[in-house]
């Protein structure tokens, strides 16, 4: 299913991703489905990594999610904004553990 998720802000300190208010993304109780919330958080955190790693991004061979946890504090309704930082937790908190493989630096001594 297409969620319409979009990255709306990115810098070296934080990233912001959004999911529009879409009836197709609602659960059986008419709130935003947890999977859509989790997806928005995953996109925001992956993009935050890109923002933070920009100077060495060419050295990243791959990055995968090893583990993730989510806790939702109240029902989510309307447009969703996922912010990759520890501030302004309103609806829930999702944490990710990523594993990244970096290529050997061209300037490294052998």
CA-based max dimension of the chain? 59
Residue 27's pLDDT is what? 92
Mean pLDDT of 58-69: 88
Tokens of 9: 């802000």
Distance between CA atoms of residues 31 and 77, nearest Å: 5
Q: What is the dihedral of CA 69, 96, 100, 14, to 10 degrees?
A: 170
The C-alpha atoms of residue 49 and residue 57 are separated, in whole angstroms, by: 9
Provide the pLDDT for residue 107. Answer: 47
Look up the pTM and report it: 0.78
CA angle, 9 as apex, 17 and 51 as ends, to 5°?
95
Q: Is the dihedral of CA 51, 56, 57, 60 positive or negative?
A: negative
- If you average pLDDT over residues 12-38, what whole number do you get? 90
* 46-56: pLDDT as tens digits: 888 888 888 88
Please name the residues in contact with 53: beta carbons below 8 A apart, sequence gap of 6 or more: 60
């Amino acid at each position: 299913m297409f969620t319409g998720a979009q990255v709306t802000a990115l810098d070296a300190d934080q990233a912001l991703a959004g999911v529009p208010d879409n009836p197709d993304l609602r659960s059986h109780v008419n709130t935003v489905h947890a999977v859509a919330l989790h997806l928005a958080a995953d996109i925001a955190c992956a993009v935050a990594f890109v923002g933070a790693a920009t100077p060495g991004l060419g050295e990243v061979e791959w990055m995968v999610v090893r583990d993730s946890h989510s806790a939702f504090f109240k029902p989510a309704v309307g447009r969703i904004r996922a912010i990759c930082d520890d501030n302004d937790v309103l609806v829930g908190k999702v944490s990710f553990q990523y594993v990244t493989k970096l290529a050997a630096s061209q300037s490294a001594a052998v």
